[in-house]
Amino acid sequence: MRWDVTAWPSTRVMTVTPEALANAVRCLRAGGLVAFPTETVYGLGTDATDGKAIARLYDAKGRPTFNPLIAHVHDAAQARSLGIFDGVAARLAEAFWPGPLTLAVPRQPGCPVADLATAGLATIALRVPAHNVARDLLAAFGGPIVAPSANRSGHVSPTTAQHVLADLRGRIDLVLDGGPSLVGLESTIVACIGEPTLLRPGGLPRADIERVLGHPLADGPPPIELTDSEEGPLAPGQLASHYAPRTPLRLNARTVDTDEALLAFGEPIPPGNDHAVSILNLSPGADMLEAAANLFSYLRALDALGASAIAVMPIPQSGLGEAINDRLQRAAAPRPDETPQQPRYKLHDPKDEHDV
């Protein structure tokens, strides 16, 4: 079967057979969205290296923000090719993978996971699931699969294929029906970036982790999303972590000043651009999926130029525009307490009151 990945596909449901897995792999390779069971909850999977596919995933979930996603991998060796494991991370991976534990660690240089999947962060959340169907799919696909819980934004996480269909029928390409998820709670998330910190309680009890560590886990800030209730304004202080460029952003720019870089959207490019330090267009054809896929990497590229500001053309609120504008507004918010000496990308440290 060919997979014609379209904006709003008709959703196929398949019980798990070798043929269904082969179909799922073909669909993922074509940039499709495949819901599959893990031992915690059903995930909505797509190729972690394909920014456009990830933009479709956010669109299908109806997320008003781009929260970073968990990259699912087949084994610890694959995880270590994407993230940097210190001694603690290595011990936790050894003790609990495969299983309901997600480790947030620094990204490896050259990590091929799309910037949109990690929301522009320099860290990555990695998990090796224990469910046979998830494992077989990851083995057959051969690369990392990002998978948030397979529900519409604001709804509870699904533990059966029927729950997935109730939320996402007509918005995703395929559901692999592998029966109910047995844990029924999302994975426990531990950040191993300095002191090991519990970011989200979940299917692996804290006491089990502390037994392996030999000491209590630090408590992190509330994660970006404890459930899937991302609705409502999120103050920057509520975020576990988020990407913020160092160069000031000037939103809704209709002209470009000398020494500014321009983050364009659509056509025509505003006057003054001939003086711009550099111009990157999120999507000359005003395609929201393309714009979302380019957002974080273009911001990073323009941020590196030392321009006086990044002028950002207006971006409509339609579709993923809401999430794009949400991220741009956070990036543009003043950060009066940030000093140039502070690391630019780090997890929120609750002891550091000034960190946003």
Nearest alpha carbon to residue 143 among 1, 3, 28? 28
Decide: 318 and 59 in contact? Cβ < 8 Å.
no
Given ligand TXA, Mg ion, none, residue 125, with its beta carbon under 5 to 8 Å by kind, binds ligand TXA
Token pair in block for residue 119: 């929301």
Neighbours of 269 (CB within 10 A): 17
Give me the residues paired with residue 176 across strands.
Answer: 14
The terminus-to-terminus CA distance of the chain in angstroms comes to 47
Question: Contacting ligand TXA (CB under 6 A), which of 225, 290, 349, 355?
Answer: 225
Decide: 296 and 116 in contact? Cβ < 8 Å.
yes
186 binding ligand TXA? (CB under 6 A): yes
Q: Which stretch binds Mg ion (CB under 5 A): 98-106, 162-170, 222-230, 270-278?
A: 222-230
- Name the minimum Å distance from CB 45 to ligand TXA: 8
Question: Contacting ligand TXA (CB under 6 A), which of 34, 48, 125, 309?
Answer: 125
C-alpha to C-alpha distance for 245 and 73, rounded to whole angstroms: 29
At 65 the three-state DSSP class reads: coil
23 binding ligand TXA? (CB under 6 A): no
Cα distances from 233 to residues 108, 161, 289, 292, 327, in angstroms, run: 32, 31, 23, 20, 12
41 binding ligand TXA? (CB under 6 A): yes
Scan residues 252-291 and list those touching Mg ion (CB under 5 A).
none
Q: Which stretch binds ligand TXA (CB under 6 A): 108-116, 118-126, 267-275, 311-319?
A: 118-126
- Name the minimum Å distance from CB 11 to ligand TXA: 18
C-alpha to C-alpha distance for 249 and 228, rounded to whole angstroms: 29
189 binding ligand TXA? (CB under 6 A): yes
Question: Contacting Mg ion (CB under 5 A), which of 50, 115, 228, 355?
Answer: 228
The residues that touch ligand TXA, with contacts defined as CB under 6 A, are: 38, 40-41, 43, 67-70, 102, 104, 118, 121, 123-125, 127, 147-149, 186-187, 189, 199-200, 223-225, 240-241
